[in-house]
Amino acid sequence: MTDATSTPGSATPRAHKATSLLTVDERTRRRNASEGRFKTYGIVAIAIALFFLVVLVVAILRSGLPAFTATVADVEITITQEEFDAAEGELFKTKAYEQLFIGKLQRQLSENGMQVEFDAAAIERIMGKVGGDIREFYRANPAQLGEPVSFQLSASSRVDGYFKGRVTREALQDSRFLQLSDLDLVDALEEAGIIRQSFNWTFIQGADSGVDNPGGAGIGASVVGSFFMMLVVLFLSLPIGVAASIYLEEFAPQNRWTDMIEVNISNLAAVPSIVFGILGLAVFIQFMHLPQSAPLVGGLVLTLMTLPTIIISTRASLKAVPPSIRDAALGVGASKMQAVFHHVLPLAMPGILTGTIIGLAQALGETAPLLLIGMVGFVARGYPDGIVSGFVDPNSAMPAQIYTWAARADAAFYEKAWGGIIILLLFLMTMNFIAIVLRRRFERRW
């Protein structure tokens, strides 16, 4: 502290002998060291964050990538008109098709001289639920009846697990799902080129399936559900949010009312999302009688959730436009509205769009409000028939689908949940990327 008390040019001798700036004295060294330490803390913090990010990404990819491959069997079978009619006469039609298929495959394998011993029950155990696919095909193509058709059908989830290393011979206990001897048949079928791994298009395109049929489950339908929800959110929250912020920022008088509205908008942004779900259930479904489990209602609920985010970011970007722009516009005779819409709004657009996309991305990943309006659970309607049914027919959403899969007993669904997370992350990354591009392209600096 002697430095601080001594003034240059005073009569008292300086505590330190004046030295060159190039030699570092004790105090400077301490200050430099503390700066160095702070930099190290920062680097350590970033390193820890990066480490967790890498762990997360590796975990997601390792658990999720297997969902993108499936074990399938290529089988050519012929079903006659009589067999078709008989199967259609049953109550449990898909089971009848499955039995037909198993019988035909068994005969084929025996004729081809398969070395391994097996029976119909073994084929039933190693194949997935194939009846639905076969029935769907012949209902759509009745002309193919009586002709050989080659099908690509999914194997059971345990055989799939065997190919992916989830099920091992050592850990396998004989059960009605799979027996050790079945694996010999699987190996023989693989050698014969009948069973193989292929890219899992069903996972990309399909809808949810029953808990005993993981091979038929896909995320496609819920992607469509999410898409329709995001349409509702975009077309409601963007105009409403932007209009509200323009009025509050540019036109509204400063008084107690507008202050209260502003405070409450900020409060709304911090409300837990499940609260909007309860609100949605009470207002949209029970009072307005909108359909349950519909993306329209999901979109409305998420709109409520997204609005505060959009209003806050829009107001921030309107504020960031320099007053000189408004003044200049007003100065050359523009009306207040012309000044706002011709000059301020275009300049604020990059910020508004960024805020909107971030808000949409947040809404895209939201599950809690959907729990209460019936979009979480078993919703397997497949693709909607048209635009209107896309909004009002029951559908799930991506995060809801992932949540549902994660709770199922069969480990194959757990893998699909991780796969779903990869798809969801891809969408979120794309949206963030668009936000960055828009900001880069339209950003103006003063």
Q: Which residues pair with 269 in a beta bridge?
A: none
Q: How far is CA 139 from CA 38, 90, 143, in A?
A: 70, 15, 9
Q: How far is CA 214 from CA 100, 227, 417, in A?
A: 22, 24, 11
The Cα 266–Cα 268 span in angstroms is 5
Contact stretch for other proteins (CB under 8 A) within 68-76, 234-242, 301-309, 359-367: 234-242
The Cα 436–Cα 14 span in angstroms is 57
* Nearer CB in complex with other proteins: 146/210: 210
Let me know how long the chain is.
Answer: 446
Touching other proteins, residues 91-120 (CB under 8 A): 91-95
Compute the least distance from the CB of residue 125 to other proteins, in Å: 10
| From candidates 60, 283, 392, 425, binder to other proteins by CB under 8 A | 392
* Nearer CB in complex with other proteins: 189/221: 221
| From candidates 414, 415, 416, 435, binder to other proteins by CB under 8 A | 414
Binding mask 359-388 for other proteins (x = CB under 8 A): ------------x--x-xxxxxxx----xx
Compute the least distance from the CB of residue 127 to other proteins, in Å: 13
In single-letter form, the type of residue at position 265 comes to I
Q: Assess contact for 409 and 58: CB atoms under 8 A.
A: no
Binding mask 177-196 for other proteins (x = CB under 8 A): x-------------------
Binding mask 335-354 for other proteins (x = CB under 8 A): ------x-------------
* Nearer CB in complex with other proteins: 105/233: 233
| From candidates 51, 52, 199, 235, binder to other proteins by CB under 8 A | 235
Phi, psi of 195 (to 5 degrees): -100, 135
Q: Assess contact for 188 and 110: CB atoms under 8 A.
A: no
Dihedral in degrees, nearest 10, Cα atoms 286, 289, 295, 297: -50
* Nearer CB in complex with other proteins: 285/357: 285
| From candidates 70, 167, 397, 402, binder to other proteins by CB under 8 A | 167
| From candidates 63, 77, 132, 432, binder to other proteins by CB under 8 A | 132
Compute the least distance from the CB of residue 83 to other proteins, in Å: 17
197 by DSSP, 3-state: which? Answer: strand
* Nearer CB in complex with other proteins: 408/439: 408
The Cα 355–Cα 335 span in angstroms is 28
Token output for 434: 């668009």
Touching other proteins, residues 300-339 (CB under 8 A): none
Compute the least distance from the CB of residue 389 to other proteins, in Å: 8
Q: How far is CA 18 from CA 14, 90, 371, in A?
A: 8, 104, 73
Contact stretch for other proteins (CB under 8 A) within 105-113, 145-153, 266-274, 286-294: 286-294
* Nearer CB in complex with other proteins: 194/399: 399
| From candidates 289, 440, 441, 445, binder to other proteins by CB under 8 A | 289
* Nearer CB in complex with other proteins: 190/212: 212
- Say whether residue 176 binds other proteins (CB under 8 A): yes
Touching other proteins, residues 193-232 (CB under 8 A): 209-213, 231-232
The Cα 208–Cα 381 span in angstroms is 8
Q: How far is CA 317 from CA 41, 239, 312, 345, in A?
A: 33, 16, 9, 9
Q: Assess contact for 280 and 373: CB atoms under 8 A.
A: yes
The Cα 371–Cα 355 span in angstroms is 26
Q: What number of chain residues touch other proteins (CB under 8 A)?
A: 59
Q: Assess contact for 413 and 214: CB atoms under 8 A.
A: yes
Token output for 142: 């009745």
* Nearer CB in complex with other proteins: 101/391: 391
Touching other proteins, residues 52-91 (CB under 8 A): 90-91
* Nearer CB in complex with other proteins: 41/235: 235
Q: Which of 185, 105, 191 is nearest to 153 (CA)?
A: 105
Q: Which of 413, 382, 37 is nearest to 225 (CA)?
A: 382
CA angle, residues 40, 41, 45, in degrees to nearest 5:
115
Contact positions toward other proteins, by CB under 8 A? 90-95, 131-132, 135-136, 167, 171-173, 175-177, 209-213, 231-232, 235-236, 238-239, 285-286, 289-293, 296, 341, 371, 374, 376-382, 387-389, 391-392, 394, 406-411, 414
